[in-house]
C-alpha cells in the first residue's frame, strides 16, 4: 500500500512572510510543497515566477512540485527545474505535444507529471501513463484556492487508479482542490495517494500542525478500514 502523502499548496500563503510559512509547513510535517504557477491565461489568476520558487528553495528541504497551470508550459519547464522543483506537472489541456513536453521534464532532471481538469477524461492521457511519475486529477476547476471538492470526480479517480494498476505503473495518483478532513477520506478510498491541500492547512483555525495531524488521522483511519 503506497504511503499517503500530504503536500501543501502555498497558493493561500501569506506572501509577506512566505519563507516563514514554508518553514512552518515543514515543521508541521507535510511531505512536500506545491507551487501553483498561474499565467492569467490558462487559469484566471497570476502567481509565482521561478525566482520566487528559487527563494523558497533556500528556506526548506521539502520536495517541491511545480504545478504549471499555464499555456505552453514547455516554455518554462527548465526554469522551474533550475529553481529547485523535483516534480513538474503540466496540464494535458495546455500543451499540444504532451508526450514531448513530458520528455523535456525528464531530460531536465525532474519527475514528469500530467494534470487533467475536471472536464478532461482520464482516458485522454492513457497513452502517456507509462511516461509519468505522477498523475494529478483536479477536483476543482483550477485558478483559486478555497473552492469546494467536486464529488463527481470520485469515479474518475477510481478509473485512473484502475488504469495505473492495469499497466503496473508506480506513478503516484494525486488530487488537488477542496481537500480537507471531510473530503480526503473519500479521495483516498477512490484510490488517490497524494493529497494537495491549501486552505485546508493554511487556513485551519488550530494551525498548520493540527491541520496536518487531522488529515493524517483521517487517512490512517481510511487505511485501517480498507
The residues binding ligand DX5 (CB under 6 A) are 9, 11-12, 36, 67, 140, 142-147, 176-179, 196-200
Q: State how far the Cα of 196 lies from the Cα of 211, in Å rounded to an integer.
A: 13
| Residue 42 or 112 with smaller CB distance to ligand DX5 | 42
> 61, 86, 127, 176: which is the annotated catalytic residue?
176
H or E, element range at 180: none
Q: Helix, strand, coil % (nearest 5) of the chain? A: 45, 20, 35
| Residue 116 or 226 with smaller CB distance to ligand DX5 | 116
| Residue 34 or 95 with smaller CB distance to ligand DX5 | 34
Give catalytic status of residue 36 as yes or no. yes
CA R_g for the chain: 16
> 14, 20, 31, 36: which is the annotated catalytic residue?
36
Residue 204: CB minimum distance to ligand DX5, A: 11
| Residue 103 or 216 with smaller CB distance to ligand DX5 | 216
What are phi and psi for residue 212, nearest 5 degrees? -65, -40
Residue 202: CB minimum distance to ligand DX5, A: 8
| Cβ–Cβ under 8 Å, residues 115 and 139 | no
Q: Using alpha carbons, select from 65, 79, 58, 67 the residue that is nearest to residue 30.
A: 65
Residue 168: CB minimum distance to ligand DX5, A: 29
Residue 126: CB minimum distance to ligand DX5, A: 23
Q: Which residues contact 152 (CB under 8 A, 6 or more apart)?
A: 118
The set of catalytic residues is 36, 176
Amino acid at each position: 500500500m503506497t504511503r499517503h502523502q500530504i503536500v501543501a499548496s502555498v497558493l493561500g500563503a501569506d506572501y509577506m512572510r512566505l519563507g516563514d510559512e514554508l518553514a512552518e509547513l515543514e515543521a508541521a510535517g507535510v511531505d512536500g510543497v506545491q507551487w501553483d504557477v498561474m499565467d492569467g491565461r490558462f487559469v484566471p489568476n497570476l502567481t509565482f515566477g521561478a525566482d520566487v520558487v528559487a527563494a523558497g528553495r533556500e528556506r526548506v528541504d521539502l520536495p517541491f512540485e511545480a504545478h504549471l497551470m499555464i499555456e505552453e508550459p514547455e516554455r518554462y519547464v527548465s526554469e522551474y527545474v533550475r529553481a529547485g522543483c523535483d516534480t513538474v506537472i503540466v496540464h494535458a489541456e495546455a500543451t499540444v505535444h504532451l508526450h514531448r513536453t513530458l520528455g523535456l521534464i525528464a531530460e531536465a532532471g525532474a519527475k514528469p507529471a500530467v494534470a487533467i481538469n475536471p472536464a478532461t477524461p482520464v482516458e485522454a492521457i492513457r497513452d502517456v501513463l507509462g511516461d509519468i511519475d505522477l498523475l494529478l486529477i483536479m477536483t476543482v476547476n483550477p485558478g483559486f484556492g478555497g473552492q469546494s471538492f467536486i464529488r463527481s470526480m470520485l469515479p474518475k479517480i477510481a478509473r485512473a487508479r484502475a488504469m495505473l494498476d492495469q499497466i503496473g505503473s508506480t506513478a503516484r495518483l494525486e488530487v488537488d482542490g477542496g481537500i480537507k478532513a471531510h473530503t480526503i477520506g473519500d479521495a483516498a478510498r477512490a484510490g488517490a495517494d497524494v493529497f494537495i491541500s491549501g486552505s485546508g492547512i493554511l487556513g485551519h483555525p488550530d494551525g498548520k500542525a493540527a491541520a496536518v495531524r487531522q488529515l493524517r488521522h483521517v487517512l490512517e483511519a481510511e487505511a485501517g478500514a480498507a
